């Protein structure tokens, strides 16, 4: 009996690891990152050529030198022409929207990763650290099964199950083939980096997944592949959580070492920087009260430094998450760095309870059905119901 106990615990551990967890958190993470990237690209659309394109003061040659030194890559550097830039930039917008909607997430998450890396690496001196967080999180997102719920993929699978038919993914297979041809064509554009090998590995893994899912459920190879992808998904979600803890932990402990934050005046100087004053009246109102500045400064340090250590306590964790999200919301409004705040709020949402997310999803679905039903049943002004029409004519 004692000999079987360790084996039984190992079996339960393997069974637990072979099932995907945090599917709702991954879906919310996918929707958030896709929406943030799309909003950023649309906001910068009028100035896109000056910031990242052929009119940028940061020339292609200088960008290529930095990319090679930092072992990055950017498909924008493959051609300095206007047409290529427009294709990549607008393709990034399309990829962000498709990822947010959850259309063929296995492929669009990788395309989204390539788009984010390419645009961010074209001019690394733009941004407010939100682009760095988005780039890192986009890399982790590509390893998750982020389309299991709240996606067009999940809707297509549910419809196929209701009809008792296998999932028809011809569009996904065609997209996989097209991406393979494109990747073969541009493989020479990855000099001195391992990014080509990474993208080929993604492409091969997706092809294996498509092939395995043509076999009946219960096939050993399919079950093994499903377990492997579930483990990879769980590891990626764990890495995302650890990354968030590292961000908050290092930020909190660095502030503890600073003299300004030790005396409680760190926020006072941040509120007086011209670069972080989109609303001077609001910033001046907060900076006018030293008690408010003192409380917010110490509260920021305490919350950030304690974040990694309080996640194991459920009630404290939920209160802490609410405090962190409110803090980032205030930072985005008062200091004028909305995209960094948005990325961190989406990253914080990874720790939200599954029960809360299910309740939130049910509420949103009910509201959407109610709004759709109201729009369908609303009487048209041009074609009123028959009774109204007869009454008017009579």
Task: Let me know: does 149 contact 27? Beta carbons within 8 Å.
Answer: yes
CA dist 249 and 166 (Å) reads 47
CA dist 233 and 239 (Å) reads 10
Is the pLDDT at 49 greater than 90? The verdict is yes
Q: How confident is the model at residue 289 (pLDDT cuts 50, 70, 90)?
A: confident
Q: How far from each other are the two terminal CA atoms of the chain, in whole angstroms?
A: 90
CA dist 119 and 93 (Å) reads 11
Report phi then psi at 295, rounded to 5: -65, -45
Residues recorded for the chain = 394
pLDDT for res 33: 96
pLDDT for res 164: 78
**Secondary element (H or E) of residue 342:** helix 338-348
CA dist 10 and 146 (Å) reads 27
Other beta carbons within 10 angstroms of residue 329's beta carbon come to: 15
Other beta carbons within 10 angstroms of residue 124's beta carbon come to: 17
Q: How confident is the model at residue 160 (pLDDT cuts 50, 70, 90)?
A: confident
pLDDT for res 189: 64
The CA angle 60-66-68, to the nearest 5 degrees, is 100
CA dist 276 and 250 (Å) reads 22
Interval 131-144: pLDDT, tens: 889 999 999 999 99
Three-state DSSP at 102 gives: coil
Give the list of residues 6+ apart from residue 134 with CB closer than 8 angstroms, or none: 33, 36, 37, 40, 116, 120, 339, 343
Is the pLDDT at 74 greater than 90? The verdict is no
Is the pLDDT at 166 greater than 80? The verdict is no
Average pLDDT of 26-38? Answer: 96
Any idea which residue has 């360790």 for tokens? Answer: 6
pLDDT for res 387: 36
pLDDT for res 188: 66
Interval 291-330: pLDDT, tens: 888 888 888 898 898 888 888 888 888 888 998 999 899 9
Report phi then psi at 111, rounded to 5: -60, -40
Task: Let me know: does 134 contact 36? Beta carbons within 8 Å.
Answer: yes
pLDDT for res 384: 42
Q: How confident is the model at residue 380 (pLDDT cuts 50, 70, 90)?
A: very low
Is the pLDDT at 379 greater than 70? The verdict is no
pLDDT for res 378: 57
Average pLDDT of 115-140? Answer: 88
Report CA 117 to chain centroid distance, whole Å.
Answer: 13
Any idea which residue has 């592949």 for tokens? Answer: 225
CA dist 139 and 148 (Å) reads 18
Average pLDDT of 61-81? Answer: 85
Q: In the chain, what percentage of residues exceed pLDDT 90?
A: 34
Q: What is the DSSP letter of 276?
A: G
Average pLDDT of 340-352? Answer: 93
Is the pLDDT at 100 greater than 80? The verdict is yes
Assigned token pair, 43? 């906001």
Interval 202-223: pLDDT, tens: 888 888 877 777 766 656 777 7
Any idea which residue has 């999180």 for tokens? Answer: 137
Is the pLDDT at 385 greater than 70? The verdict is no
Q: Give the CA count within 13 Å in the CB-facing half-sphere of 278.
A: 9
Average model confidence (pLDDT) across the chain: 84
Any idea which residue has 């649309």 for tokens? Answer: 42
Q: Kindly report the pTM of this predicted structure.
A: 0.87
């Amino acid at each position: 009996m004692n000999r079987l106990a360790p084996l039984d615990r190992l079996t339960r551990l393997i069974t637990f690891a072979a099932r995907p967890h945090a599917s709702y958190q991954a879906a919310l993470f996918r929707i958030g990152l896709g929406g943030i990237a799309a909003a950023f690209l649309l906001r910068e659309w009028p100035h896109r050529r000056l910031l990242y394109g052929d009119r940028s003061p940061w020339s292609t040659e200088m960008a290529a030198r930095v990319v090679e030194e930092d072992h990055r890559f950017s498909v924008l550097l493959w051609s300095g022409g206007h047409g290529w830039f427009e294709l990549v930039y607008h393709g990034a917008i399309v990829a962000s929207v498709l990822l947010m909607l959850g259309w063929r997430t296995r492929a669009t998450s990788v395309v989204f990763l390539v788009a984010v890396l390419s645009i961010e690496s074209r001019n690394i001196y733009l941004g407010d650290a939100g682009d760095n967080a988005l780039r890192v999180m986009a890399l982790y997102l590509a390893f998750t099964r982020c389309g299991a719920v709240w996606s067009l993929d999940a809707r297509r699978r549910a419809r196929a199950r209701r009809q008792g038919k296998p999932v028809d993914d011809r569009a996904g297979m065609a997209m996989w083939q097209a991406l393979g041809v494109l990747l073969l064509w541009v493989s020479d554009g990855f000099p001195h980096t391992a990014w080509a090998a990474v993208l080929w590995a993604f492409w091969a893994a997706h092809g294996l997944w498509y092939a395995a899912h043509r076999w009946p459920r219960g096939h050993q190879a399919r079950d093994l592949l499903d377990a492997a992808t579930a483990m990879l998904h769980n590891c990626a979600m764990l890495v995302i959580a650890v990354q968030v803890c590292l961000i908050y932990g290092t930020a909190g402990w660095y502030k503890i070492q600073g003299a300004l934050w030790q005396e409680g005046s760190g926020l006072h100087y941040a509120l007086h920087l011209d670069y972080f004053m989109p609303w001077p009246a609001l910033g001046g109102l907060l900076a006018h009260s030293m008690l408010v500045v003192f409380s917010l400064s110490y509260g920021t340090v305490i919350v950030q430094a304690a974040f990694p250590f309080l996640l194991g306590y459920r009630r404290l964790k939920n209160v802490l998450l609410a405090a962190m999200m409110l803090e980032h919301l205030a930072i985005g409004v008062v200091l004028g760095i909305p995209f960094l705040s948005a990325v961190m709020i989406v990253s914080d949402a990874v720790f939200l309870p599954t029960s809360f997310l299910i309740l939130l999803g049910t509420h949103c679905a009910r509201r959407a059905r109610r709004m759709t039903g109201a729009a369908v049943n609303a009487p048209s002004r041009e074609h009123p119901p028959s009774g109204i029409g007869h009454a008017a004519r009579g």
